[in-house]
Amino acid sequence: MQYPYFNNMPRIIAHRGASGLAPENTLAAIDLAAKLGIRSVEIDVMITADNQCVICHDHNVRRCTNGEGKVRLKTLSEIKELDAGSWFSSEFKGEKIPTLSEAMKLIAEREMSVNLEIKPLDGWQVPTAEIVCAELKRLQSQLPPLLISSFNIESLQVVNKLLPDVPIGYLSDTLPHNWKERLSAVNAASLHMDCDFINRDIVNEVHEASIRLLTYTLNDPAKAKQFLGWGVDGIITDFPDRMSELS
């Protein structure tokens, strides 16, 4: 199947936006990736107490905001009170945790594509994916080219059912012993692996199964160049500025 995300596949993907240079998963980090000439961003999505989709990596807001507590126990208006920029640098004071809708709008405006990673709480893998899919359907005409990934098979099975036209990336630190079964269970188009576990044989093995291989989180440009030489399809990096000659 031909998917818009993989047409003219971006080789360099800014992880959580340009998260080495701006506060992760904020509009500022997405915007900076665009300014650096990057054509795709990876961002994380989870749900709030009032079932709104927000862009955030950790289940607790402590590390990346001036607040404390679980995203799932806060309403969207409580989430919007938080400063998600100052922890990174005073330059980003007042930056907010974006909604999925706000992030998608900016990414589309900047003519980028997006790898959206679903981050469910344990026990909420299915409802989280259902809520994210419903929001994506609502935004349909405004969406940039999209690739949805997750470490969680249950979430990805929901995506496969509700958004059959969107490609799925299966996230795994290592190459699972039964990776072909896992990928076929979610109809995955790509496998996204921790860069420490990739070698040339794995690249070939995955490609022989007609699956694309992306890797995270690779911040060393020399290693990225080597990986691209082996045929790795996408490098997810915190420092897209270091990879400009590779994109």
Closest CA to 207 of 190, 182, 221: 190
SS3 217: coil
Tokens of 242: 């270091």
Q: Among Mg ion, ligand G3P, none, what does residue 149 contact (CB within 5–8 Å per kind)?
A: ligand G3P
Closest CA to 118 of 170, 62, 182, 196: 170
* 44 touches Mg ion (CB under 5 A): yes
Q: If you search the block for the tokens 């070698």, which residue do you land on? A: 199
Nearer to Mg ion, 28 or 43 (CB): 43
Nearer to Mg ion, 148 or 232 (CB): 148
Residue 2 region, left (φ>0) first, then alpha (ψ -120 to 50), else beta?
beta
87 contacts: CB under 8 Å, gap ≥ 6: 23, 63, 64, 65, 66
Interaction mask 31-50, ligand G3P, x per CB under 6 A? -----------x-x------
Nearer to ligand G3P, 78 or 223 (CB): 223
* 149 touches ligand G3P (CB under 6 A): yes
56 contacts: CB under 8 Å, gap ≥ 6: 25, 44, 45, 46, 64, 71, 97, 119
* 236 touches ligand G3P (CB under 6 A): yes
Return d(Cα 25, Cα 64) in angstroms, integer.
9
Residue 213 · residue 207 · CB < 8 Å: yes
Site residues (CB under 6 A) for ligand G3P, limited to 85-114? none
Asked if 177 is an active-site residue, the reply is no
- Please, what is the minimum distance in Å from the beta carbon of residue 119 to ligand G3P? 7
Asked if 57 is an active-site residue, the reply is yes
Nearer to ligand G3P, 60 or 78 (CB): 60
How many residues line the site for Mg ion (CB under 5 A)?
2
Answer for which of 18, 171, 224, 243 binds ligand G3P (CB under 6 A) is 171
* 216 touches ligand G3P (CB under 6 A): yes
- Please, what is the minimum distance in Å from the beta carbon of residue 17 to ligand G3P? 11
Site residues (CB under 5 A) for Mg ion, limited to 107-146? 117
What are the backbone dihedrals phi and psi of residue 150, each rounded to the nearest 5 degrees, phi first?
-165, 155
Catalog residues that contact Mg ion under the rule CB under 5 A.
44, 117
Catalog residues that contact ligand G3P under the rule CB under 6 A.
15, 42, 44, 57, 117, 149, 171, 192, 216, 236
Catalytic residues: 15, 57
